[in-house]
Structure 1
Amino acid sequence: YCDNASIACAPGQRYHGRGPIQLSWNYNYYNAGEALGIDLLNSPDIVSTDTTVTWMTALWYWMTPHAGRVIHDVVAGENGFAQSTDIINGGLECGPDAPNTGNEQQRITYFTKMCEALGVEPLGATSCNA
């Protein structure tokens, strides 16, 4: 996933999903690296090979505003899980023209199974298409 519009991609590097939150896109690797003091743009594989960096990038993404919204904050609100999907995958899974709504349904299934295993009820909406 490379979008050269704002941040140039490093030659030969791939910015596919890595880590617990599946950090992807060159601009996210760049911004996470800037925040953490690590050159992730030129060394994106570190996110999957160094466990400290793996969790640092996940926490960075979880606590950093994306389009003005912080995942941590919305999960605790009434739109919870649904809005977290919208922040992470937006137009890919949410909305009437989203091409991957099946992925959203699979994510909801996993989420509800995890909630059941933990003995908790999901809070708020689970679907960003409801």
Structure 2
Amino acid sequence: MDATTKWLAITAALAVITLFSAATNAEETKPPLVVKVVKGKKLCDKGWECKGLSAYCCNHTISDFFQTYQFEELFPKRNTPVAHASGFWDYHSFITAAATYQPLGFGTTGGKNVGQLEVAAFLGHVGSKTSCGYGVATGGPLAWGLCYNKELSPEKTYCDDYYKYDYPCTPGVSYHGRGALPLYWNYNYGKTGEALKVDLLNHPEYLENNATLAFQAAMWKWMTPDKKNKLPSAHDAFVGNWKPTKNDTLAKRVPGFGATINVLHGEQMCGKGDDEAMNNVVSHYLYYLDLMGVGREEAGPHEVLTCGEQLPFGKNPVSTSSS
């Protein structure tokens, strides 16, 4: 072998090594699984996503079935030059936020399949509320989720003086939409900030400066029931922890994706038949199920998937019985 041939062979080998290294580093590096038996119980620790020994860590966690490349496929346009939050949203922030709520069941309830469905459901809401897609957008309107992290041209400051004692508005601060499931109004920033132990009432801009916090706020909203208004959490309504009452059944409210729309949006989208805003959320969910390899056929029948025929929570059918 002459010198030229040797040089070409070495160059080719180095190229292969470089490509292999790049591919290896493309995915998040996962720490080793630590397994211990404590008082007869198997407990695990996965580090980054699942810190501290717990039983749930021994099962599927979200990064086992939803990885970086899938996040990129769901939100391929979020970092384009025309995206309004380019460079903000990323997979690592999503998983870091999810690590707080996975022990409570987010993406870890009911096994891998239900976990995949719930992640797609949550992100379906997120994608539809942060999209800047439109009918002729490159890649189609469903490819533009996570385009925004805040409302760009708010018409008002969303300060409600009714809550001036519990959640007083900070002078000069606007409580317009921010985050993955956009927060509005001073009382919502106040309640969410209390739950996350972050001063969002005085600094709502934190949600547009920190992607992990923005995802955490959305997950807290997804996981938390509204006891004052007797609403289940979207999580419980989706995975079947919520058990409909007789009035719920009469109002055609059933567990599933449609119920999550009802919990999060109520009369804005539900009980209105073939509503455009509702259909937009449903379309994102089905699209994400396909991209995640689950398939939209797993979403269930129309009455489970949508809330077009469901009465909004808090409203019950008028009794037709006579005295």
What is the TM-score of this pair, normalised by structure 2?
0.36
Which of 246, 252, 266 is residue 90 of structure 1 equivalent to? Answer: 266
- Aligned equivalents of 1:50 and 1:16: distance in 2? 16
Counterparts of residues 67-86 of structure 1 (less than 5 Å): 67=229, 68-77=231-240, 79-86=255-262
Equivalent position amino acid for 2:173 in 1: Q
Percent of residue pairs bearing the same amino acid type: 35
How far has the Cα of 1:69 moved from its partner? 0.9
Which of 216, 224, 249 is residue 64 of structure 1 equivalent to? Answer: 224
Aligned residues: CA RMSD:
2.2
Query: SS where residue 22 of structure 1 aligns?
Result: coil
- Aligned equivalents of 2:277 and 2:239: distance in 1? 23
Contact 1:75-1:84 at 8 Å conserved across structures: yes
- Shift in alpha-carbon separation, 1:5–1:95, aligned structure 2, 3 A: farther
- Aligned equivalents of 1:10 and 1:22: distance in 2? 19
Larger radius of gyration: 2
Provide the residue aligned with 1:3 in structure 2. Answer: 160
How far has the Cα of 1:85 moved from its partner? 0.9
- Shift in alpha-carbon separation, 1:90–1:9, aligned structure 2, 3 A: farther
Number of aligned residue pairs: give it: 127
Provide the residue aligned with 1:108 in structure 2. Answer: 282
Equivalent position amino acid for 1:84 in 2: T
How far has the Cα of 1:25 moved from its partner? 2.7
Per-residue CA shift, 1:91-128, capped at 9, x if unaligned? 211124x9xx3111111111111111123221461211
The structure showing larger relative contact order (alpha-carbon pairs under 8 Å, at least 6 residues apart) is 1
Per-residue CA shift, 1:51-109, capped at 9, x if unaligned? 2321221221122112331111111125221111111111211124x9xx311111111
Which of 194, 208, 211 is residue 48 of structure 1 equivalent to? Answer: 208
Which of 108, 123, 126 is residue 305 of structure 2 equivalent to? Answer: 126
Unmatched tracts of structure 1, length 5 or more = none
Contact 1:79-1:126 at 8 Å conserved across structures: no
